[in-house]
Structure 1
């Protein structure tokens, strides 16, 4: 996989992580949104995994 593609995936992964942390820190976090973001983050992690 190209280094630039991996870098882009890592940036997206970090962005999702930040969004999850921000949502969880709210007084009334949206559980559905958190679950969706976590699933997206997991898909990105699996895509970054070498084959």
Structure 2
């Protein structure tokens, strides 16, 4: 369900708005290198501080 909600935003914007934790330059990088976004760093720090091991 969560992915379906995000998909609706992408379809509405014609896939111009990018979502996710990494950025890929589809136009200028033939290797399609994934570059971590700030949101990935934040989520990793938040998870380490708030999620306990099972």
Report the structure number with the largest CA radius of gyration.
2
**Which structure is higher in helix share?**
1
RCO higher in 1 or 2 (8 Å CA, sep ≥ 6)?
1
**Which structure is higher in strand share?**
2
TM over 0.5: no
TM-score, normalization by structure 2:
0.29
